[in-house]
Amino acid sequence: MPNIKSSERSIKTDAERRAKNFAVRSSIRTATRKVTEAVGAGNNADAKALLTKASSTIDKAAGKGVLHKNAAARKKSRLARKINALG
């Protein structure tokens, strides 16, 4: 535990930030997993609907600074490629 008061405060805010970022990353993983499961099942229409939700979740995370914008674009692109491969 630090001795400096500002360092004590920063530890607390870092923990809060870490918890929020973890929740956002978890929602991204859940959304992408749902899309990949729909693609694996061959459910094209369902996968496209889930892709829009996943893209929205990824964009929100990039807006909050949890993900870099290029990382967000890469994730969305990879999901779209999986759906396009279905036909």
CATH number for the domain spanning 43: value is 1.20.58.110
Q: Domain range for residue 78?
A: 5-86
Is the C-alpha dihedral spanning 33, 34, 35, 39 positive or negative? positive
| Cβ contacts of 67 within 8 Å, gap of 6 or more | 28, 58, 61, 75
Domain count, the chain: 1
Is 87's pLDDT higher than 80?
no
pLDDT at 82: 95
Is 57's pLDDT higher than 80?
yes
pLDDT in tens, 27-46: 999 999 999 999 999 999 99
Task: Quote the percentage of the chain above a pLDDT of 90.
Answer: 95
**What's the predicted TM-score (pTM) here?**
0.88
pLDDT at 33: 98
Strand, helix or coil at 25?
A: helix
Interatomic CA distance for residues 23 and 37, integer angstroms: 21
